[in-house]
């Protein structure tokens, strides 16, 4: 097996020829897509992977300097695509993976057909008129909590980011996902995530994209999704009925439906897909 595929614990499933790559968010791994992947296996080739330091990736390949920015993670996405010789990829990224996918598409645009951003944010920190949802002090508190007691932070944050309206079993699943990440790597990934500012990169994206936004999301407010929609060429915005930051776990059927609708649309008949 190619060393890149071992490094990122790459799994390939499905019967189709059209390729979909699912990229997990901070603190999770490829198993976070378990409620969605079956819906794509009949018609698509599904590629799952773990970022280095997450899930069952090869943690010996972790490089603190490389992964101190999202560019390091994006280069890994490109390397997976090249190792598998993939073309016309549909990339589905959750949370920070939305911007990782965007950066990867800037690095190698010819490999991508469409991008799907689930709960994206180009910048988490408020900045003048831009509302990312967090003040600098909020973000430092997150870093401190992860550093001091990562397991306790994971226990506390799971029901908050999932939205307490959902069954406790989903909180437990998310908590278990979070707890599988080594704490020091989780802290470094959190720093790379919360310190990023991708706002100026959006205008350079040529690949059509979909922003899938929950109607309430403590991590990625509607203002962040709207900023992406307003500043990214060929971007469509759907505000779902789902709430919370993990609609692919809490409301997989709605998330699947919107992704499939975007894939099937050729992009020539829609100027926007904004749902209230």
Tally of residues, the chain: 276
Model's pTM, two decimal places?
0.94
Q: Domain residues of the chain, as ranges?
A: 3-264
What positions carry a catalytic annotation? 95, 217, 245
Q: Which two tokens stand for residue 257?
A: 């439906």
> Could you tell me the CA-to-CA distances from 155 to 72, 109, 217 in Å, in that order?
28, 39, 18
Residue 209: name the closest of 131, 104, 126, 124 by CA: 104
Mean pLDDT for back-to-back runs of 10 residues, the chain (276 residues): 95 95 95 96 97 94 96 98 97 98 97 98 96 95 94 90 81 86 92 96 97 95 96 96 94 96 68 44
Q: Are 190 and 65 in contact (CB under 8 A)?
A: no
First to last CA, the chain: 46
User: Cα separation of 199 and 102, whole Å?
Assistant: 11
CATH for the stretch 3-264: 3.40.50.1820
């Amino acid at each position: 097996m190619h060393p890149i595929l071992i490094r990122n614990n790459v799994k390939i499933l499905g019967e189709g020829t059209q390729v979909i790559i699912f990229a997990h968010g901070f603190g999770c791994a490829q198993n976070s897509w378990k409620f969605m992947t079956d819906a794509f296996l009949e018609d698509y080739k599904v590629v799952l992977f773990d970022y280095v330091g997450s899930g069952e990736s090869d943690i010996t390949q972790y490089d603190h300097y490389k992964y101190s920015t999202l560019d390091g993670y994006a280069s890994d996405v490109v390397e997976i695509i090249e190792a598998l010789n993939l073309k016309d990829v549909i990339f589905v990224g959750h949370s920070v993976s939305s911007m990782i996918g965007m950066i990867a598409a800037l690095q190698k645009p010819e490999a991508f057909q469409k991008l799907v951003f689930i709960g994206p944010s180009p910048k988490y920190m408020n900045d003048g008129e831009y509302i990312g949802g967090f003040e600098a002090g909020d973000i430092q508190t997150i870093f401190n909590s992860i550093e001091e007691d990562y397991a306790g932070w994971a226990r506390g944050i799971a029901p908050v980011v999932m939205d307490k309206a959902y069954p406790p079993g989903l909180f437990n699943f998310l908590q278990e996902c979070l707890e599988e990440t080594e704490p020091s790597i989780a802290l470094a990934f959190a720093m790379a995530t919360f310190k990023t500012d991708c706002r100026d990169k959006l205008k350079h994206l040529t690949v059509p994209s979909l922003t899938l936004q929950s109607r309430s999301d403590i991590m990625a407010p509607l203002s962040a999704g709207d900023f992406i929609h307003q500043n990214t060429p060929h971007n469509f915005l759907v505000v779902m009925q789902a709430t919370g930051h993990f609609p692919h776990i809490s409301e997989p059927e709605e998330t699947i439906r919107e992704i499939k609708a975007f894939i099937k649309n050729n992009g020539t008949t829609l100027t926007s897909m904004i749902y209230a």
